[in-house]
Amino acid sequence: MSSKNVYFIKTITNLHVGSGDTTYGVIDNMVQRDCVTNYPIINSSSLKGALRAFFECTGSKDDVVKIFGKDSNTNLENDALGGKGKMAFFDAKILFRPVRSNKRPYVLVTCPQALSDFFEYLEISGIKEDEKEGLKQLKQLTKNYKKVEDEKFENISSIKLQEIDLQSHSINIFNDILKGEELKIYITTNEEFKNLELPVIARNQLENGESKNLWYEEVVPRKSIFYFMTNCEDTELDKKFEGAINEKLVQIGGNATIGYGFCNIDIIKSNEGNNE
């Protein structure tokens, strides 16, 4: 019997999961992007590697191998636990990203395509009936764009931005991940969302106070929210994974020693878990 779950990832610090591509522009190190939408993404292999590193520090060797499979860097040919892991990890896709406002520090912005991809994961994993009505309403709201009055936003036109009060529309699925935040989201067009620029940070290698290597790297800003899905062949093992990872601080991507990539992970509680 398999079990599917969807988890949120909330970035506490700036995130850099590098694409590894050669670039000829100003930015030397780009983040990973979805090959279809070009939105920032955390590829499943990068996500799985980060979660494995977390489990190797917190869990038993048996559970690590059962969940993630053999470590290719270790000789485990004679290990009775060998073989592939029992859990499949899907790409972590972006759902919300912060945008500065002239009236508050930032607002969380998304778009119809990002929401549609999120709904697809939820449908696959199974969600409670009482949440479906709220999500249907949210889908309907994304079809209209109304100007947000008397507020200006960085790199985005307020003419193409719609404010949605989640509480007034009884849309509760984001309550846990937005804890401490304003329960409002802003929806813009797919094109505007794709064209939102990511911060670029200059990095420098110094030797005796002299610059030896200056480079520029792209980051996904803190307060961004991603989501990912898992599919586990063993429901008991899935419960162990959830218990170990839920509401924990996990480091994802590069530059951990300078504080990049620290994220909170939360299971979507309205998820029923689609067991097959």
User: Which residue did the predictor score with more confidence, 34 or 142?
Assistant: 34
pLDDT digits over 232-241, tens only? 989 999 999 9
Mean pLDDT rounded to a whole number for the chain: 85
Domain assignments of the chain as residue spans, ordered by start: 3-70+84-267
Percent pLDDT > 90 in the chain is 51
pLDDT digits over 12-25, tens only? 999 999 987 656 66
Give the least confident one: 94-98, 164-168, 219-223: 164-168
**Has residue 146 got a pLDDT over 90?**
no
pLDDT digits over 191-214, tens only? 999 999 999 988 777 666 666 678
User: Which residue did the predictor score with more confidence, 201 or 262?
Assistant: 262
pLDDT digits over 22-69, tens only? 566 667 788 999 999 999 999 999 999 999 999 998 877 888 999 999
CA dist 234 → 7, 80, 83, 240, 272 (Å): 18, 17, 15, 10, 16
For residue 167, what pLDDT is reported?
83
For residue 149, what pLDDT is reported?
72
For 176-185, which contacts have Cβ atoms below 8 Å and span 24 or more sequence positions?
176/8, 176/266, 176/268, 176/269, 177/8, 177/10, 177/225, 177/266, 178/108, 181/108, 182/104, 182/107, 184/107, 184/108, 185/96, 185/107, 185/108, 185/109, 185/110
